[in-house]
Structure 1
Amino acid sequence: MRFIRSIATATVLPVLLVAAWWFTSLGSDDFFWPPLRDILTEVPSTWFEGRLGADVAPSLLRLSAGYSLALAIGISAGLAIGLSAPLRQYCEPVFEFLRSIPPPVLVPIIMLFAGIGDSMKIVVIAFGCVWPILLNSVEGARSIDEVLHDTARVYGLGPAARFRHLLLRGASPHIVTGARQALSIAIILVVISEMFAASNGLGFTIVQFQRSFAIPQMWSGILLLGAIGVILALVFKLVENRVLAWYFGLRRKQ
């Protein structure tokens, strides 16, 4: 019963928004604001007859590669910096400078070094995603009580055990928070990077539809992006519940 109630709560607002869009656009003769009915009619023929493999799959692969690279760099560097106060003092000004640079601005520069292939897009995604992961990992490492570090040393836990059971687990709530923020950034950046220089992908195809004035198809691509974002968020939530099961259980007992 609780599960059904939570599903109903989560879907009521989307259903109301879709219904409002449906009825406000019904009978619209505006070329750039077609009825939602026409947009939904275009989805199967536009995306499910060859474009899933030709455009959607490359975008998801670039997103996965860039996001995974950001996770690897952000978590490892963030934990190392979080454990060292002098290192944090040296790195903080540089991080604040770099994180203030919007990743789309760097696309032309990255293209000079990485070309216009998938490498450029992966680097752009990784650069934009790494900062929330890295900074949250730093805070996660800093938040671990020194008493726990001393206790682990007294009980003779080795470096590997301390890293796994104390550092990584203690910082995991912060790391997951950064990873959740980075996921939405990754979706945005994969589209932007494909708009600059690409021959396939969701961003490239949506821009092609816009330039050829295929407006219903363009809107269908935007809706597909939103649906992909929802699916990725649900998958992330499942992983989060598995990884942080101990943390949620601890909070429920408090």
Structure 2
Amino acid sequence: MKAVARLWVIPLVLAVWELVARGLADTDFPPPTTIVARMYELWFSGPQVFTDDAIDNLLPSLGRMFGGWVLAAVIGVTAGVLLGRSRTATDYVDPLIEFGRSIPPPLLLPVFLILFQTGLATQLATIVFGVIWPVLLNSIDGARSVDSTYVETATVFNLSRAQRLRVVVLPAASPKIFAGLRLSLSLALILMVITELIGGTDGIGYQLLQAQRSFDGAGVWAAIALLGILGYVVNSLFVLAERRVLVWHRQATRG
């Protein structure tokens, strides 16, 4: 109820925005009603729920974002948990990790384009490279911070290394792993847009670029609004899934 009560700020901001924008009468700063009308015209004015233009641009963007995020999650969690259980291995690769995470992912777009030759592979590689670091570092930290008592108990029960990872390490490290996954999901959305702005042929970012080139101010804001809504929905769904998966952790913390 508290979260719902705090939503009053949204209509207040929109109302102020509407008044200010109408007072300025600037096509580059349209009021929310104009933006919503443009969104409807672009994506919802056809005979079906989503127009062909929406499907041709929204679905490829979602595919790139979630494809890159899933790849980064699998690689990051696997490598992070293994490295987190071996301090020696972490010490060896730590300089490489620090070097890699300091490189801005968009700068590697030309390199990936030379390596992979195709737009989709280049975009996925850029997203994976950019979002893997929060997952990897949080997985390392989570696996390293597992209470030694749990590991010793598993050893007493003669659990194999694989069983210890599955039964003890992964559940204990899961809160930090999920924190990294949530952060990386937001980064995946940002990098998806960047890769589509630079050399893309479809997607929300490409549509945003086309609107900017045609001086369609309302179209630019409509694409930005769509990205904001998409980010909010994706984050809300992830938080809901996280709460369901980690319900045992909250109960243990309260206890």
What is the TM-score of this pair, normalised by structure 2? 0.94
Tell me the residue number matched to 2:12. Answer: 16
Q: Which moved more, 1:174-183 or 1:19-28?
A: 19-28
Q: Which amino acid aligns with 2:37?
A: T
Tell me the residue number matched to 2:42. Answer: 46
Tell me the residue number matched to 2:26. Answer: 30
| Whole-angstrom CA distance in 2 between matches of 1:215 and 1:203 | 15
Matched, 1:7 2:10: no
Give yes or no for contact 1:140–1:174 (8 Å, CA) kept in 2.
yes
| Whole-angstrom CA distance in 2 between matches of 1:166 and 1:234 | 28
**Aligned with 1:225: secondary structure?**
helix
Q: Which amino acid aligns with 2:225?
A: L
Tell me the residue number matched to 2:190. Answer: 188
**Aligned with 1:185: secondary structure?**
helix
| Whole-angstrom CA distance in 2 between matches of 1:249 and 1:18 | 39
Across the aligned residues of Structure 1 and Structure 2, the Cα RMSD in angstroms comes to 1.3
**Aligned with 2:19: secondary structure?**
helix
| Whole-angstrom CA distance in 2 between matches of 1:227 and 1:51 | 18
| Whole-angstrom CA distance in 2 between matches of 1:158 and 1:43 | 56
Could you tell me how far 1:38 is from its partner in structure 2? 1.1
| Whole-angstrom CA distance in 1 between matches of 2:156 and 2:79 | 27
1:1-254 alignment runs, 5 A limit: 4-9=1-6, 11-48=7-44, 49-253=51-255
Cα separation, partners in 2 of 1:157 and 1:16, compared to 1, 3 Å: farther
Q: Deviations over 1:20-63 (max 9, x none)?
A: 22222124321211222211111111123322210011000011
Could you tell me how far 1:248 is from its partner in structure 2? 1.2
Give yes or no for contact 1:116–1:197 (8 Å, CA) kept in 2.
no
Alignment length (residue pairs) = 249
| Whole-angstrom CA distance in 2 between matches of 1:146 and 1:97 | 30
| Whole-angstrom CA distance in 1 between matches of 2:231 and 2:251 | 27
| Whole-angstrom CA distance in 2 between matches of 1:29 and 1:20 | 14
| Whole-angstrom CA distance in 2 between matches of 1:115 and 1:15 | 47
Could you tell me how far 1:207 is from its partner in structure 2? 0.4
- Name structure 1 gaps, 5 residues minimum: none
What is the TM-score of this pair, normalised by structure 1? 0.94
Give yes or no for contact 1:116–1:198 (8 Å, CA) kept in 2.
no
Q: Which moved more, 1:34-43 or 1:19-28?
A: 19-28
